[in-house]
Amino acid sequence: MTELQVPSAAKSQPGRIARFLDSDLWWSFKSSKSAVGAAITLGLVIAAALLAPVLSPQNPYDLASLELWNAELPPIWMEGGQMPFLLGTDVQGRDILSGILYGTRISIFIGLASVVVSLAIGIVAGLMAGFYGGWVDNVLMRVGDVLLSIPIILVAILVSSVAQALLPPELREAGISIVLVLAIAMYSWVQYARVVRAQTMVERRKEYVQASRLVGTPARRLMLKHILPNTLTPVFVTATLNFGLAILIEATLSFLGVGMPPDQPSLGTLIRVGNQYLFSGSWWIVLFPSIQLCILVVSVNMLGDWLRDALNPKLR
Amino acid sequence: MLAFLIKRLANAIFVMLSVSFIAFMIFRFVGDPVELMLNEQATQVQRDELRTRLGLDQSFIIQFGTFVSNASKGDFGISFRNQQDVLAMIAERFPATFELVIVATLISLIVGIPMGVITAIRRQTWYAETMQFTSIIGVSLPSFVVGIGLILIFSVWLGWFPAFGRGDTVNIGWWSTGLLTHSGRMSIILPALSLSLFQITLVMRLVRAEMLEVLRSDFIKFARARGVPARIIHFRHALRNCLMPVVTMTAMQIGGLIAFALVTETVFQWPGMGLLFIQAVTFVDVPIMAAYLCIVALIFVVLNTLVDISYAIIDPRLRGAEK
């Protein structure tokens, strides 16, 4: 349905891109140095992660390509560094740069997936709670209160460690990332639900909703088509900030050993593995994945910070 | 006020019941304790006997009730791994975690409050803007990466501080403290610093926001007009009005810090409760996992409830808002 509408809309008005370039949001983006810097950095990081198979000199998952005599090579600018291992190698002769590029992919994938899952749960819960009120509201918000009154990291550790212990071995490979996504989403849906609920309670009383109700629009359509679009701005800001948080939690879980396993390493796993060689002098194994993780999270958070200020009507 | 108190307490009890339900479910999920405790050759009679002795033939709700009543008496059972009383094991590790959290909190106040004041009163200067900018980075940096970075710089490269462990400890009654020995004090610096980094930025941002608010108020304008020196206005009059939210936030964060300390403890191999928990997770030692969850949640919930109640005592407007 939307596909049919787009061409006609594009003919009658200036194109979407042109309208976007004319908007306040784009203007505030252009004038914020840190936002532009963060966006460019994040773009580069994501592009490099997506192009990992093309860019990286080695496939870190292909055990046949590893040569033990390449183990623990320092970065290229130090004595003993060798091409093509720009950032050095780990104890198994795995190229650090390739590991980072592939690891960033996994980190970004889990971060995105958990944001999507928690958005879906949070929006549905928030709409229902705000629209129906009463016991639906009470139950949903109570569950949310309880989740928020336990430290998140504990819940995530418990869920993922117990779930991993229960997974049958043949499902483990695919299962772990799903478990991680659910463990992170289980906590963060509450924030979306609260934001959507508050907005829904305001919108519900407005005339357009009342009118639409009078003509007999079903509740589901009313919630999704009429109320939801009006709640999305704050949700979008929360989602950006939560994306950074989700990457952080995944990295922390992997670092603690209850996240991604060493044969599918995310950035956190790489740091966990590298941490064991901190005292043997091979500092590059742990340092470069750490730097990449920081760059990723800092740029996402700076974008989120800017977005929050830019979309806040009080600050305009 | 009484209604508010009862509501808050009921809320706290509800949260604790939910937490113990989660802890109880972990036991049920991880497998049949009878299979774990008996060997392959055990007869059906022996199995049934053990099942009855452990109360596993009772209904689900009765089992949960037993778990809650035992837990509230501090009886979390015996560790699967080394057959010791779980509560004693956690109590032995508690002082290490508590000292770490307290030192980290002190650092965050000592560093965060002046930074917040400076960024508020010297808003346009380069150093205030730099602090503001670094605070965004400070919030984003993963705490374990900060810890590894500190170890790499100050232990591996410079060799100033020890990289792991707690140093020598002194026992005062059952409490073991590392703060009275030189090596203990040197050992706590890096972990406390890495745990406090996030806290510093929080305190700084809160103090800054509060200061900006207070500095706009009439009594500050009046003091300025009267010619009171800027130092006294900022530090005696304005700052004093900002401290209340800082104190309550700090109190509420302590529970979170105790939980989050497990990451720092893993990085620095700090022998606290968090490290015990992480080791228990690796061996699926369920009694320790369940007990740790309940104890940390209890600390968390008690602190939050106390802060909420004290807020209501100090600020009567909140009592009305709750209803």
Q: What is the pLDDT of residue B183?
A: 76
pLDDT score for B249: 83
* DSSP letter, residue B58: S
Tokens representing residue B182 in the block: 């030189």
ipTM reported for the complex, 2 dp: 0.79
Q: Is A190 exposed, middle or buried (0-12, 13-18, 19+ CB in 10 A)?
A: buried
Interchain proximity B145–A142, CB inside 8 Å: no
Which has the higher per-residue pLDDT, A74 or A292? A292
Cα(A309)–Cα(A306) distance, rounded to whole angstroms?
Answer: 5
| H or E segment and range at residue B71 | helix B60-72
Contacts of A292 in chain B (CB under 8 A): none
Say if the Cβ atoms of B148 and A162 lie within 8 Å: no
Tell the burial category of A144 from Cβ atoms under 10 Å away from its Cβ (0-12, 13-18, 19+). buried
pTM (predicted TM-score): 0.81
User: In one letter, which amino acid is A147?
Assistant: L
Torsion from C-alpha of B163, B165, B169, B172, nearest 10 degrees: 130
Q: At what angle are helices A169-204 and A232-256 packed, to 10 degrees? A: 150
For B239, the enclosing helix (H) or strand (E) is helix B239-268
Lookup: tokens for B199: 């806290």
Q: Tokens 């009567």 map to which residue?
A: B316
> How far is B215 from chain A, CA to nearest CA, in Å?
19
Q: What is the pLDDT of residue B67?
A: 78
Strand, helix or coil for residue B241? helix
Q: Give me the amino acid identity at A98.
A: S
Cα separations in angstroms, B132 against A305, A306, B139, B142, B201? 12, 14, 11, 18, 9
Q: How far apart are CA A301 and CA A134, in angstroms?
A: 36
pLDDT in tens, chain B (323 residues): 778 788 888 888 888 888 888 888 877 766 666 666 666 677 777 777 777 776 666 777 877 888 788 777 777 777 777 777 888 888 888 888 888 899 999 999 999 888 888 888 887 788 877 887 788 777 778 888 888 888 888 888 887 887 777 777 777 777 777 777 777 778 888 898 888 888 888 888 888 888 888 878 888 888 888 887 877 777 777 787 778 788 888 888 888 888 888 888 888 888 888 888 888 887 777 888 888 888 888 888 888 888 888 877 776 665 554 43
Structure tokens at A62: 């292909």
Burial of A313 (0-12, 13-18, 19+ CB in 10 A): exposed
In order of B165, B166, B190, the CA distances from B183 in angstroms are: 10, 8, 12
Which residue of chain B comes nearest to A155, CA vs CA?
A: B293
For residues A200 and A220, give the distance between their C-alpha atoms in angstroms, rounded to a whole number: 13
As a whole number, the mean pLDDT across chain A is 78
Residue B209's pLDDT is what?
84
Chain B residues bordering chain A (beta-carbon distance below 8 Å): 11, 14-15, 18-19, 22, 26, 29-30, 133, 136-137, 139-145, 148-149, 151-152, 156, 163, 255-256, 259-260, 262-263, 266-267, 278, 281-282, 284, 289, 292-293, 296-297, 300-301, 304
For residues A239 and A1, give the distance between their C-alpha atoms in angstroms, rounded to a whole number.
Answer: 27
Q: Is the peptide bond before A84 cis (omega within 30 degrees of 0)?
A: yes
Q: Do A256 and B266 touch (CB under 8 A)?
A: yes
From A39's Cα to the closest Cα of chain B, the distance in A is: 15
d(CA B295, CA B283): 20
Other CB atoms within 10 A of residue B106 CB: 13
Q: Which residues of A touch B (CB under 8 A)?
A: 34, 142, 145-146, 149-151, 153-155, 157-158, 161-162, 165-166, 244, 248, 251-252, 255-258, 271, 275, 278-279, 283, 286-287, 290, 293-294, 297-298, 300-302, 305
What does the radius of gyration of chain B's CA atoms come to, in whole angstroms? 25
The confidence score (pLDDT) of residue A3 equals 45
* B301: Cα within 13 Å, side-chain hemisphere: 25
Quote the DSSP letter at residue B163: S
What's the helix, strand, coil split of chain A in %, to 5? 75, 0, 20
**Confidence at residue A113, expressed as pLDDT on a 0 to 100 scale:** 92
Per-residue tokens: A166: 């229960």
The whole-number pLDDT of residue B180 equals: 73
Residue type present at position A281: G
Greater confidence (B274 vs A282) lies with B274
The H or E element that residue B101 is part of is helix B86-121
pLDDT digits (tens, 9 = 90+) for A51-108: 777 776 767 666 666 666 666 666 666 666 666 666 667 766 677 788 888 888 888 8
Packing angle of the helix pair A267-275, A232-256 (nearest 10 deg): 30
The residue that leads in pLDDT, A134 or B99, is: B99
Which residues does B164 contact at the CB level (< 8 Å), separation at least 6? B268, B269, B270
Measured distance CA(A37)–CA(A90) in Å, rounded? 31
Type of residue found at A92:
Q
* Position A9 pLDDT exceeds 50: no
Q: What is the per-residue pLDDT for A117?
A: 93
Closest Cα to residue B4, out of B250, B316, B288?
B316
Nearest Cα neighbor of B128 from B138, B139, B110, B116 is B116
User: Which residue out of B13, B26, B140, B269 would a mutagenesis test of the A interface target, given it has the greatest number of A Cβ atoms within 10 Å?
Assistant: B140
**What percentage of chain A reaches a pLDDT higher than 70?**
80
Task: Kindly give the interhelix angle for A232-256 and A284-311, rounded to the nearest 10 degrees.
Answer: 170
CB contact under 8 A, A162 and B278: no
| CATH no., domain A50-315 | 1.10.3720.10
Give the residue among B257, B298, B270, B271 at the shortest CA–CA distance from B107. B257
Report whether B48 contacts B96 (CB < 8 A): no
Please give the Cα distance from A210 to A254 (Å, whole number): 49
Using the predicted structure, report yes or no on whether residue A115 has a pLDDT greater than 80: yes
Length of chain B: 323
- Mutation site, A157, A269, A272, interface B, largest B CB count within 10 A: A157
Q: Is B259 close to A248, i.e. CB distance below 8 A? A: no
Chain A contact set for B141 (CB, 8 A): 294, 297-298
Q: For A62-78, what is each residue's pLDDT tens digit?
A: 666 666 666 666 666 66
